[in-house]
Structure 1
Amino acid sequence: MSENILSLLELNNLVRRGIEACLPDTYWIQAEISDVRSNTSGHCYLEFIQKDERTSSLIAKARGVIWSNVFHVLRPYFEETTGETFHSGLKVLVEVEVTFHELYGYSLTVQNIDPTYTLGDMVKRRTDILKQLEEEGVLTLNKELELPLLTQRIAVISSATAAGYGDFCDQLKGNSWGISFYTELFPAIMQGEQVERTILNALDAILARKKDFDVVVIIRGGGATSDLSGFDTYLLAASCAQFPMPIITGIGHERDDTVLDVVANTRVKTPTAAAEFLVNRMMNVIGRLNDLSFQLKTSVVQKLQMETERLNRLIARLPSNVNLSIANENFKVKDLYNRLKLSTNLYLKDQQYLLRSISLEIKSISPYEILKKGYALLSQNGVIISSIKDIEEDSDIIIKMYDGESKAHIEKKTEYE
């Protein structure tokens, strides 16, 4: 039994020789890279992992290494082709050699890489995000927002130290038309793994002060154009697509649009182009205002001329109109006078007839007329006698008739029952 006992080193030697004998060639494998790091010697250490497509749980893992002489060539080739930095989370197609070291164990040594595979996966990921946004009905929401007529209050999301941010501000301030712009920076990290988180934080800060700004500008410049993966995330794209203010992107790359570019209201290539877009938009507004001002001035002059001519015509017609008006009024006065005269005469005749009728009626009931009919008026001591009871016997009374009066002596009176 003692003859079959091996030391760990001896066993590892057997494993190494076995692997070298069984897997002598290189192999192309598909995997996701994780925990990517490099040291001062230029070597790159990483892990290759594979996840279950349904549950995303880890189902395979292997340690990997890219020696400096290979990494020095593969890295720039990969980044130039894909527009991405070589970082964790990418899916890659790599040619590896299977190695086993007695001290460090099993690992995969990378010999080559096919960047077109990663590029295809990136395109697929962007396509999937855009498809999901479209299915959710939010893909074009920000594009449907109308840019304000005046876009002078600008919320800028960028890195404070980015050259592109400085170029943007200089372009706005130095515009040849002297148009004033107000810009306020909301700092964010514009490359690397913190792009999504910091831009979302900036958007939240802008939203809290929505009334202070007309438009949001997201710009990136002065950094590597290869690091664009941070702008291709679903969460960032969905937030920008549904943001209630128009978003302008000038991320500073020529070849491809990121998902953020696709959902933004307006996409330009560079920060300088973003500034030029805003200046040109204001110039168009100024041009429209000048046109309107000219049209207004022309319209006012034409209106004044028309009214002046109309006034002159009225002045020319005024004498004849006045004479005609005076003649019309004279005719009206004469007509009213004649009608008044006629009415007065008729009224007077009516009143005269009425007076005659009243006079005759008064005359018919006057005491004089009654006395003429044979009646007499008796009085005693100046008092009219209307009853036999008022006459005293053996007294004198006055008898008044229509044409004179006489005195009589009452000796005796007889009262009727």
Structure 2
Amino acid sequence: MRNKTAGGKRMTPSHYTLFELNRLVRQSIELSMRGEFWVEAELSEARENNGHCYMSLVQKDEAGNTPLAKASAKCWRSSWLPLRQKFEKITGMRVSPGMKVLLKVYPQFHEAFGFSWIVVDIDPTYTLGDMARRRMEIIKRLEEEGVLELNKQLPLPMFMQRIAVVSSPTAAGYGDFRDQLQANPYGYQFSITLFPATMQGEDVEQSIVGVLNEIYQREADFDCVVIIRGGGASSDLSGFDSLALAENVANFPLPVIAGIGHERDETVVDIVAHTSVKTPTAAAALLIDNLRSVDQLLSDMRQRIYSSVRLSMQAELQRLSHFSQVIPTLFSLVSTRQLSRIGTLSQRLLSAAQQQVAESKGRTQLMAERIPAAAGRRLSDERHRLEMLSQSVRALDPQLILDRGYSITQLNGKAVRNSSELAPGDELHTRFAEGEVKSVVE
């Protein structure tokens, strides 16, 4: 603090140095805020350095999620190591951003480094309760949307062999899952397509939702989706308690099998998935058992069909045996009836043929008697007709005309009937009853 003088007299302070002011703040805090306080807050940052833990605390507006207060906090190595072990043992998780915590702190203000809360204790049960509350809020929201049981209502395909796997490609759980399917004792064939995704940390939700969108574009290529994590710390499961991820799984058009890999922890994804198993190998066993059940069902159906066909064949054989005994008797009876009928028809046919032959003989004999008289009459008529024709031919003989004093003039062998047919120079031939002459037209 600096004082001014005037005429040898000291004046009231006019300003402080920063150090002086900060020391005054520190003294005020130490005097007015003695003791330790339990404070609830959300971790926006939590990092370790040289055994110390440095945290950023935030309180958000529940309605708008807007930060209402922020502060820095530190936990020194001597306190942090036992507190971390206690917290992880009880919760099964590491302290990480986004977590709600209840911390026991005291204020510390340093002239050079400013203000921070020093953490001396942490209540794991508060964090567990907050995570359970958040999980229940997500589940309630899904129930209100009517999608909590939606994926469970999808029927599992009978032949569930085309598997879309969501996992980290380096995860041991994925390798165990793949090996168990490929080496199944029944020789079943599975088609496994890996869709790599981040399975721990802050990017779990975004990564898996993106992968599910890829699988959705190829929905027809797969029978189901298997989400595999396997191993790792329980704290990494917080990414699977996500509303957006749960909504995607619940609304997915293919059955989703979750094999996230923790015996005692159940995430929201486990709850909304069609089927949840504890480990990736359990997911593989589920697929193998499903196909085994289908195989057994088909085997039972084959046996039933075989038994049904065998019974039907036995019934038909009995029926054929009965027919084989009845048919000869029926054939003998039918044969006797047909032979009798044939004999009757033969007699009728013979009688009809004999009658037809007798009638034909009578007609032939009658015709034989009539033919000579008819032939004589026909010859007489034809002779008379020939005589009449001879007289007509003789009457038309040109010689008779010539004998009566006529002549016939011809031009080129044709009789001339009109002088207009002639032209000068034409040579005519004239025939008389006795002799003929030639002449030329002038």
Q: TM-score, normalised by structure 1?
A: 0.77
AA of the residue aligned to 1:33 = L
Q: Of residues 7, 19, 26 in structure 1, which corresponds to 2:29?
A: 19
Give 1:335 deviation, angstroms.
10
Contact 2:258–2:273 (Cα < 8 Å) also in 1: yes
What aligned pairs does 1:211-250 form with structure 2 within 5 A after superposition? 211-250=220-259
1:165 has 2:177 as partner = no
Change (3 A) 1:332 1:54: farther
Match of 2:41 in 1: 31
Match of 1:251 in 2: 260
1:136-171 Cα offsets, whole Å, 9 max, x none, are: 111111000000001111110000111101111111
Contact 2:257–2:276 (Cα < 8 Å) also in 1: yes
1:122-147 Cα offsets, whole Å, 9 max, x none, are: 11111111111111111111000000
What aligned pairs does 1:133-282 form with structure 2 within 5 A after superposition? 133-282=142-291
Give 1:326 deviation, angstroms.
4.1
1:320-375 Cα offsets, whole Å, 9 max, x none, are: 1223334566788899999x9xxx9xxxxxxxxxxxxxxxxxxxxxxxxxxxxxxx
Contact 1:193–1:230 (Cα < 8 Å) also in 2: yes
Give 1:44 deviation, angstroms.
1.5
Change (3 A) 1:326 1:93: same
1:7 has 2:12 as partner = no
**Which deviates further from its counterpart, 256-265 or 53-62?**
53-62
What aligned pairs does 1:329-368 form with structure 2 within 5 A after superposition? none
Counterpart CA distance in 2 for 1:335 and 1:95 is 127
SS at match of 2:151: coil
Counterpart CA distance in 1 for 2:247 and 2:182 is 32
Give 1:213 deviation, angstroms.
0.9
Contact 1:83–1:227 (Cα < 8 Å) also in 2: no
Contact 2:105–2:120 (Cα < 8 Å) also in 1: yes
Counterpart CA distance in 2 for 1:152 and 1:294 is 24
1:376-405 Cα offsets, whole Å, 9 max, x none, are: xxxxxxxxxxxxxxxxxxxxxxxxxxxxxx
Q: TM-score, normalised by structure 2?
A: 0.73
SS at match of 1:111: strand
SS at match of 2:300: helix
1:70 has 2:116 as partner = no
AA of the residue aligned to 1:286 = D
Higher CA-based Rg:
2
Counterpart CA distance in 2 for 1:292 and 1:55 is 61
AA of the residue aligned to 1:189 = T
Match of 1:399 in 2: none
Change (3 A) 1:96 1:312: same
Counterpart CA distance in 1 for 2:149 and 2:171 is 29
Counterpart CA distance in 2 for 1:164 and 1:265 is 20
Q: Of residues 89, 97, 103 in structure 2, which corresponds to 1:80?
A: 89
Gaps of 5+ in 1: 345-417
Give 1:69 deviation, angstroms.
2.2
Give 1:308 deviation, angstroms.
1.3
1:19-70 Cα offsets, whole Å, 9 max, x none, are: 111112010011111122222x121212111112222221111111111222
AA of the residue aligned to 2:205 = E
Counterpart CA distance in 1 for 2:177 and 2:112 is 55
Match of 1:371 in 2: none
Match of 2:59 in 1: 50
Counterpart CA distance in 2 for 1:91 and 1:314 is 88
Give 1:252 deviation, angstroms.
0.5
Contact 2:231–2:262 (Cα < 8 Å) also in 1: no
SS at match of 1:226: helix
Query: How large is the RMSD of aligned CA atoms in angstroms?
Result: 2.5
1:94 has 2:103 as partner = yes
Give 1:89 deviation, angstroms.
1.2
1:293 has 2:302 as partner = yes
Gaps of 5+ in 2: 5-11, 353-442
Match of 2:135 in 1: 126
AA of the residue aligned to 1:157 = V
AA of the residue aligned to 2:33 = L
Contact 2:205–2:245 (Cα < 8 Å) also in 1: yes
How many residue pairs end up in the alignment? 344
Contact 2:46–2:97 (Cα < 8 Å) also in 1: yes
Counterpart CA distance in 1 for 2:268 and 2:283 is 18
1:229-278 Cα offsets, whole Å, 9 max, x none, are: 10000000000000000000010011121000000000000001111111
